[in-house]
Structure formats: C-alpha cells, structure tokens
Amino acid sequence: MADKYSEASFGALGVGFGERPAVVVVDFQKGFTDPRFELGRSPYVHKAVEQTAKLLKAARAKNVPVASCRVGWGSEKDIGYWKIGCLHQGWFYGDPTTEMDERVYDPKYDFNFWKNAPSIFFGTPLMSFLTKQCVDTVIVTGCNTSGCVRASIVDAFSYGYRVIVPEDCCGDVDLGPHQSNLTDCGRRYCDVMNSADVMAYFNRLSGKQGLAAAE
C-alpha cells in the first residue's frame, strides 16, 4: 500500500551487497544482554543476540571481518550527558556490565574496542579497521535499535558504505521503536532484511577475506 513517503520516492532504490562485507556488532555486552542488569532484560534484545550468533558463525566461516564494541567509562568525567540513569554507575572499565556476551564474541577473531557515544564509528578505530580490510559493505547488528544501532547505520551511510541491516539481529527495549526506526532507516539509508538473506549472501562468498565470488 502506498504512503506519503513512497509517493515522495523514499525507499525507491535498493542498496544491495558489495564485494567486501564486514559485520559490526553494536553493544552486545552483558549490560544489555544479561537480565541481572536494568538494560539487560529485553526479550527482543535476547532474541537478537541468538540470531546474531548464527549470523556471525556463518560470517567467520567465510573470513568476513567482524568488529564489535562495548560501552564503558574510565571515570565520571568520561560520561556524556546521557539521560539513561543506570549508565552513570556500574558501567566503568572492568565492571561486569562491560563484559562481552560470549554467545557473539570471539576474542581470537573479532576486532573489539570501547566506545562512549551512540555510534560504533564515533571516536573509535573502526574506520581504520574497515579501510585495512577494503570493506565496502557494512552489516549492522546490535542494540538498541532506536539509539546506538540507528546512529551506527547513519554513520556507516555517511562514510559511503553500503549498509545492510538484518532486522532479527537487532533489538530494543520495546518492539515499536525497533520497528519504526528500521522502517525509517530502510526508507533512507540501508536495506533491511532477514538474517537468512544475509547468510545466503555469505554462502556466495569465496571465503578469501570475505571476497565476493565471481558470478
């Protein structure tokens, strides 16, 4: 059914996959994935972690680069003007909230780093890593969809990457913001699809550093 956005040509064009993909994993640390913590109780995030684990297994099997981040602070002076109360205590370097979720993190394979702003790109070494790997396609997973995932999608788009978002590999505190933000981003910046479609793309890769096989 047509709507005002489609009538104005939003979403008229697809992005498509490139030849050198990488998967970025936004904030799948225990503070967001472990029910012991206030931000770790969303069933939507838990489902996204499970699906992302499957996606990453397929990505690593094809030598697709994987970069992941964690949120944390060195001191109170490092904390931005976050309006999320629990982020102001218990989220310092070494606290349990900052441990990566083992279901999605492979320390022997993944490039992992700290961030202290919403986007996985802002103030981090991610761009240098992607450039070294000659990446042209960024596949965004993680949480929360309406915050750090959306910011990462916009930055990936702004840096000129093809942006792909497997919807079932992202999660939020509630379903409505997850859906509405992905709908909006899908109109403007990225292709939103199911993780099965992304894994089918991985299966077409040659396996040599994630390079797409010749048709």
Q: Would you please indicate which residues are annotated as catalytic (active-site) residues?
A: 148
Tokens of 196: 């099965």
CA atoms within 13 A on the CB side of 13: 5
CA-wise closest residue to 172 among 84, 87, 48: 48
Of the chain, the end-to-end C-alpha distance in Å amounts to 35
The CA distances from residue 170 to 51, 178, 195, in Å, are 9, 8, 10
CA–CA separation, 48 and 185 (whole Å): 18
CA–CA separation, 198 and 64 (whole Å): 12
